[in-house]
Structure 1
Amino acid sequence: MAAVSLRERLALYLDLIRWDRPAGWLVLYWPTMGALWLAAGGWPGWHLFIVFTLGTVLMRSAGCCINDVADRNFDRHVKRTAQRPITSGKISVKEALAVGAVLALVAFGLALTTNAAVIAWSVPALLVTILYPFTKRWFAMPQAVLGIAFGFGIPMAYAAVQGRVPLEALWLFTAKIALVLAYDTEYAMVDRDDDLKIGMKTSAITLGRFDVAAIMVFYAIYLSIWLWIAARHAPSAILYIAFALAAAQALWHYTLIRGRTREGCFVAFKQNHWLSATVFAGIALSFALRG
């Protein structure tokens, strides 16, 4: 019986960190990997590859714990989130915070295997991750704060490779914020009606009838800046083809969200990681072809 109880508890923890929904960490992972390749001029080595792979998964999982604790009183009023483990009472607030703390500590342990610059950047990364859920109560565009939290992997990747954060890393960081604004506004469009009722702030509400147009502008900013920098490092036909395919995916997202249906917007969000995966593939293959 105890073993069954332990398995059930583990299943709840996995549900808490959205283990069965990898799209949530893949949208962090591909831009971080892209930055790592650009910083290293190609393959960064197994150590950094493993550190940033595990670090991305761990910090996204810790962020889920923090987010669900902060939003527990709002989530019960939203159809899509009403059965989350904390909201439904299956996991206590203290227990969820403990899980999040352990995950964050393990991620920090990975940072300790790199250098002082990465460790220094990990501190504001954690603070913004904690701050983000609470900005939904007062800030008109909390998705921008989420973009900052999700984008910290980019300067940390440069810091890990080069021991510093050059200007191009900050440009890539800025573009990642635009990407998050694009796909998380799609996500917010799914819950817009519920969020209006409970007083939650989101970019979908703030942008109003300009939401679809703004999303397309955000995608354009992301793709333009990343192509500009990637082309300086590893120009190739495969790079330009990859970015063209990514742009085509952005146009496909337009067809999904222009009707502003819950179903279309949710599909756009769930499939978004393929766009940044395509960009990463173009960057990685360009470096590989150069030898």
Structure 2
Amino acid sequence: MSFILLFGAFESFHAVQVERTRSRPIASGVLTPFQGLTFLGFQLLLGLGILLQLNNYSRILGASSLLLVFSYPLMKRFTFWPQAFLGLTFNWGVLLGWAAIKGSIDPAVVLPLYASGVFWTLVYDTIYAHQDKEDDLKVGVKSTALRFGDSTKEWISGFGLACISSLALSGINADIGWPYYAFLTAASGQLAWQIWTVDLSSRADCNRKFVSNKWFGAFIFGGILFGRLL
């Protein structure tokens, strides 16, 4: 508990120093760290309640994600690749969702899908990180935005290509219908538009492109849905 309180205090201090995050509840003083921990405990209990409803395989898989969940926030202190750790953490639900329904994992379908989520995260969260790169330099935290610098568009183009390729491979292995690939083509266009047009020197445009990922996700969801129905 003392570690969590210390870590929370450090994160709040960082948030105060970053212009974009100064208005967040704990950083602005609207909520105390104790109130934040209370809310976190409530969320964890809800998550545990859901996890216990699943099969044993899924329970073990879900519990194993805690290592990533607790280590990710520290990564920005030690590596320029915290976005990669975020991708590994955020997209664990791909593995868990499949296992909850099937009782196990089909690597040929699930692993490319998981990889696509990691690559997608590297694209959108690198764009997101460009909003705070000046403040991060002052505070001393790391990000792929700082790591890639002027080569960011080349890097995230590669990640975008890897994302789309992994999604295509997953669809092929899942024997999903043709609508999936039509939607995947639209999603590819949306991702390419983000990467090619984003102004990485503009916080407002980086935020707009980051938020636009809701459409990329919607295209992929639509493709999976109609690829199974038709």
Corresponding residue number in structure 1 for 2:50:
110
Does the 8 A contact of 2:80 with 2:144 survive in 1?
yes
Does the 8 A contact of 2:116 with 2:163 survive in 1?
yes
Quote the Cα distance in structure 2 between the aligned partners of 1:150 and 1:139. 18
Corresponding residue number in structure 1 for 2:113:
172
Quote the Cα distance in structure 2 between the aligned partners of 1:281 and 1:69. 41
Q: Note the aligned Cα RMSD (angstroms).
A: 1.7
Deviation per residue, 1:171-227 (Å, 9 max, x gap)? 221221111111100100111111111111111001111111111211111111111
Does the 8 A contact of 1:178 with 1:222 survive in 2?
yes
Q: TM-score, with normalisation over the residues of structure 2?
A: 0.91
Aligned with 1:131 (options 71, 83, 88): 71
Distance 1:208 1:259, change over 3 A: closer
What's the offset of the Cα at 1:273? 2.1
Quote the Cα distance in structure 2 between the aligned partners of 1:228 and 1:165. 16
Corresponding residue number in structure 1 for 2:13:
73
Does the 8 A contact of 1:188 with 1:204 survive in 2?
yes
Residue 148, structure 1, aligned to residue 94, structure 2: no
Larger deviation: 270-279 or 167-176? Answer: 167-176
Q: Which runs of 4+ in 1 moved over 6 A?
A: none
What amino acid is aligned across from residue 280 of structure 1 in structure 2?
A: F
Q: Which runs of 5+ in 1 are unaligned?
A: 1-66
Residue 278, structure 1, aligned to residue 222, structure 2: no
Q: How many residues align?
A: 223
Deviation per residue, 1:35-83 (Å, 9 max, x gap)? xxxxxxxxxxxxxxxxxxxxxxxxxxxxxxxx96652111111111011
Corresponding residue number in structure 2 for 1:205:
146
Aligned with 1:192 (options 120, 133, 142): 133
Distance 1:70 1:189, change over 3 A: same
Quote the Cα distance in structure 2 between the aligned partners of 1:283 and 1:69. 42
Residue 101, structure 1, aligned to residue 59, structure 2: no
Q: Which runs of 5+ in 2 are unaligned?
A: 1-6
Distance 1:171 1:237, change over 3 A: closer
Corresponding residue number in structure 2 for 1:121:
61
State the SS of the aligned residue for 1:76.
Answer: helix
Does the 8 A contact of 1:69 with 1:97 survive in 2?
no
Does the 8 A contact of 1:234 with 1:286 survive in 2?
no
Does the 8 A contact of 1:178 with 1:221 survive in 2?
yes
What's the offset of the Cα at 1:256? 3.2
Quote the Cα distance in structure 2 between the aligned partners of 1:194 and 1:164. 44
Quote the Cα distance in structure 1 between the aligned partners of 2:198 and 2:8. 26
Aligned with 1:261 (options 202, 210, 219): 202
Quote the Cα distance in structure 2 between the aligned partners of 1:97 and 1:195. 25
Query: Identity over aligned residues, as a percent?
Result: 28
State the SS of the aligned residue for 1:201.
Answer: coil
